[in-house]
Amino acid sequence: MYRDIVMDEIEKTGLIIARIFGIKVDRTHQEYKKEFEKAIGNEYKTELETILALNQDEFEDLIKSDKYSSAKLNALSQILYVFAEPFKDDEATQALLKKVMAIFDVLEQKYRFQTFDNITKRNAIYKYFNIS
């Protein structure tokens, strides 16, 4: 039963990510942002602006709390990563990518959760920040 609940949650967050990514590719930035905000509100019971306004320490406290499962954290990292694309050389993109990295760290350290996709994204972020 627990496995079914977890699988349902993973499937639901996968569909959210797919829908958001499809909108980003096919539609306007405004439509994408609207769908992104809807997903954040429905799945994370917060607003996009609230997440973006958190400083790094506040954000890390949030993701280290037991408020979100590893599946929800992973989905949030994917959503924030897609939202940061294309990587611009500005403070907003840097802040988003630092939040994505923080989620990856929590997933790896607290949940022992790592995927090839996350490793690839981590490497792209390292490249963006010129970290080897």
The mean per-residue pLDDT over the stretch 64-76 comes to 90
Task: Read off the pLDDT band of 132 (50, 70, 90).
Answer: very low
The mean per-residue pLDDT over the stretch 87-98 comes to 94
Instruction: Print the domain residue range for 113.
Output: 2-128
And the tokens for 44?
């994370």
- In degrees rounded to 5, what are phi and psi of residue 74? -60, -45
Q: Please say if the pLDDT value at position 6 is more than 60.
A: no
Split into its structural domains, the chain has a count of 1
- Alpha-carbon distance of 125 to 132, in angstroms, equals 10
Model-level pTM?
0.77
Task: Read off the pLDDT band of 116 (50, 70, 90).
Answer: very high
Task: Read off the pLDDT band of 41 (50, 70, 90).
Answer: confident
- Model pLDDT, residue 29: 64
Question: Are 67 and 44 within 8 A, CB to CB?
Answer: no
The mean per-residue pLDDT over the stretch 57-73 comes to 92
The mean per-residue pLDDT over the stretch 9-18 comes to 61
